[in-house]
Amino acid sequence: MGQLQKIILPIVFSILLVSFSVNFASAQSVPEWVKNTALWYGEGVVSEQEFLNMIKFLIENNVIVIESAETELTKIQASITIPNGNSDVSSIGFYLPLNLEISSGTTVTWVNDDSVLHNIQSLDKLGNVIDWFNSPPLNTGDKFEFTFDEPGVYNYYCSFHPWRVGSVTVK
């Protein structure tokens, strides 16, 4: 039994290190009873419940900070809608917004809200298609996303409806 718990203990700690960050400033002031609880749990002296209560204490007192995993998932988002009627040359159905302004690192999502196929093809300054951000044909409801890391002005159009030109300005 004691042997089994000694095997389990390092596994528990390795999971904590992956998912949480440890606040080393606070770790200087970890109370002796916390250290002893960990030691005694490893030796099978205290119960699993007491060990879990101790971890709860560490989280509540910001010794273990639950943020690193969530922070990595946070991304800056913006979206551009391809509105219904976008394909009609006489309609006012331009991209919404027509010129999106974002900060670098933003992930832009185009959403096709029109009833016909569209695509997103990036253009150079002369209006030629370049291999930069280029979507496959998007059905109604389909999305395409691209993350802009470099400042600049990026034009794009739809190759099916080449009169539909939009831009993204990255600051």
Which listed residue (118, 123, 154, 170) binds Cu ion by CB under 5 A? 118
Decide: is 38 part of the binding site for Cu ion (CB under 5 A): no
Distances (CA, A) of 24 to 21, 30, 84, 139, 150: 9, 10, 54, 51, 35
Tokens 């999971």 belong to which residue?
15
What tokens were used for 3? 């042997």
Contact present, 39 and 9 (Cβ < 8 Å)? no
| Binding region for Cu ion (CB under 5 A) out of 58-66, 70-78, 103-111, 118-126 | 118-126
Q: Is 161 in the site for Cu ion (CB under 5 A)?
A: yes
Distance between CA 31 and CA 33 in Å, rounded? 5
Instruction: From 27-35, 68-76, 144-152, 154-162, give the range in contact with Cu ion by CB under 5 A.
Output: 154-162
Closer by beta carbon to Cu ion, 38 or else 158 = 158
- Under the criterion CB under 5 A, does residue 80 sit at the interface with Cu ion? no
The answer to the question of residue 123 lying near Cu ion (CB under 5 A) is: no
